[in-house]
Amino acid sequence: MGLLQRMNPFGQRSGKLQTQPALGAAANLLEAIEGMAAMRGIVLPPCDPYPDQQVVYERYLKSVGLDHSQVDRILNMGRIPEEKRAAAHGMLLAAVLNSGSISNGELAAILTVARTIFSEQRATSLLRTISAPIYEKARKVPGRLSGPLAMGVFPFRWFNGQSSAFEGTSMCLAATGSFDLIEIFSTLFAARQKDPGYAVEKMREALATYVRTNEVESPKYGLGEGLVDFGNAGGIHTLLTTAGEQFLISHEFGHVALGHTVSSPRGAMPTRAVGLLSQTPNDVQVIRPEQLDEYCADVWALQAMLALAEEPEYEEKIPIFCGGAAVFLGLAVLVEAASRAARIDTKDSHPPASNRLYLIELAFELFGHHENAFVARRVREFVDEVGAEYPGFEMPPMLSRPLNQIAAQVFEKLNLDLSHAPYITDFR
């Protein structure tokens, strides 16, 4: 799983290859990959579509006493056992040698993953690449994301992303470990179709590790082996992973677009220690929006993802976008439940995740996507199965007057029309 599947998520910005320096055979292979792409007229996405953001991001890390090489880790084949790496290389080589018999789309996916493996791409580069389609779409709307912005990963102690401001730039930060947890969830969601018991057991193990260490063990090479078709770059596990990660960062975009990074008070957010070179602070200052604003950022994120579906190349992705929102918020429900079971406090400015999931499910209906939310409903079932053994675990209710009252405030604050939503207005 992981890099071998994360080939070409939902289309990328095109441009010149921007890889970190590589040496020897790896450098030669990277040149060959670029040459083959050029021969076929394939424009591979850049490893980092926003390299200028990296400069600001590294200064921000330095300002809080962190070394970027310890926080923004290099993605590599380290999670694949040595004895399996030769086989993986062989499969990639065979695909390249047989490139004349495959389509440009298939070859682009293979070349992209090969370049990712043999170049030194960092976690933040992947974050920006995944976020680029939504970010670019939102920037086209006047006043939304017009100001300076930088994305990155940060060692927060908890699962939710956070936003801050630095040197006049809005910082949209994802917690390190959160992407791995989303990937594991999506892989096990796919494995659940063939072996529900295995999927539930492995998900609980991952959650136990995450709430204890704020990271997960690198997904093992055999996770889901025999249960998930990892050779399918368009498989549900890959698509949901990307969509869940996109929702995470789009929530932070929402805070920027709605003015929360300017208007919200600041507060301390706990961090965790990283590496040996960094003097990790106990906490950092981030925005602490009101809970109503957190709900607004969730709904804004869903709107931004659905707006992307207006583009012809994404119009079939609506069920996946809805599923991605359910993956992130469903995981947040599970992280909170696992943390409570371990007696770990995870309170921040965000409302309870079950309430957030309830409002997003209402938003599916409000935006006319009941039929397209079928993946989200299957995700909900998996969350319920994983959470069943946690003490006091509860899924969001099917209908709630108090939550409908909150939902009405959120939707009205976002200027959404409730005139055709009696399930909200008549039950509050």
> Tens of pLDDT along 260-270?
999 899 988 88
Please give the pLDDT value at position 113: 65
Report the predicted TM-score, pTM, of the whole model to 2 decimal places. Answer: 0.85
Measured CA to CA, the distance from residue 366 to residue 362 in angstroms comes to 6
Tens-place pLDDT, residues 323-366: 999 999 999 999 999 999 999 887 777 999 999 999 999 999 99
What DSSP letter does each residue of 149-172 carry, written as one string?
A: EEEEEE-BSSSS-EEEEETTEEEE
Helices (H), 13-153: 24-39, 51-63, 68-71, 82-97, 104-118, 123-139
Instruction: Tell me what the mean pLDDT of segment 393-406 comes to.
Output: 94
Helix 374-387 / helix 236-257 crossing angle, nearest 10 deg: 100
257: pLDDT strictly greater than 80: yes
Pull the structure tokens for residue 245: 């990660």
5: confidence class by pLDDT, cuts 50, 70, 90? very low
Give the contacts of 345 (CB within 8 A, at least 6 positions apart). Answer: 339
Phi-psi region of 295 (alpha: psi -120 to 50; beta: other; left: phi over 0): alpha
Q: What is the DSSP string of 191-218?
A: HTTT-HHHHHHHHHHHHHHHHHHSS-PP
Is the pLDDT reported for residue 45 higher than 80? no
Residue count of the chain, please give it: 428
**274-330 tens-digit pLDDT:** 654 456 677 889 999 999 999 999 999 999 999 998 888 787 899 999 999 999 999
pLDDT over 80 (residue 151):
yes
The one-letter amino acid code at 326 reads: A
Q: Identify the pLDDT of residue 161.
A: 93
The string of pLDDT tens digits covering residues 203-244 is: 999 999 999 887 776 555 567 778 887 766 568 988 899 999
Rounded distance, CA 129 to CA 116, Å? 12
Q: What's the rounded mean pLDDT across residues 235-259?
A: 94
Q: What residues form DSSP beta bridges with 175?
A: 154
The pLDDT value recorded for residue 73 is 78
Q: What is the pLDDT of residue 9?
A: 37
284: alpha, beta or left, given left = phi > 0 and alpha = psi -120 to 50?
beta
* Number of Cβ within a 10 Å radius of residue 88: 17
Higher pLDDT, 43 or 59: 59
Q: Of 276, 253, 192, 231, which is closest to residue 109 (Cα–Cα)?
A: 231
Burial 11-40, CB ≥16 within 10 A → b, else e: ebeeeebebeebeeeeeebbeebbebbeee
Residue 89 and residue 83: Cα distance in Å, rounded?
A: 11
Residue 19 has pLDDT above 50, yes or no: no
pLDDT tops 80 at residue 21: no
Amino acid letter for position 207: L
Of the candidates 280, 287, 252, the one whose C-alpha atom is nearest the C-alpha of residue 62 is 280
Contact 171, 342 (CB under 8 A): no
Beta carbons of 198 and 326 less than 8 angstroms apart: no
8-state DSSP, 401:
H
With a CB cutoff of 8 Å and minimum separation 6, the contacts of 347 are none
Farthest CA pair distance, the chain: 68
In the chain, pLDDT over 70 holds for what percent of residues?
A: 82
Indicate the pLDDT class of residue 157, thresholds 50, 70 and 90.
confident
CB 40 within 8 A of CB 104: yes
Which structure tokens are listed for 340? 């409570």
Q: Model confidence at 10, in pLDDT bands (50, 70, 90)?
A: very low
Q: Is pLDDT of 149 > 60? A: yes
Tell me the residue type at 386: V
Cβ(134)–Cβ(253) below 8 Å: yes
Amino acid at 325: A
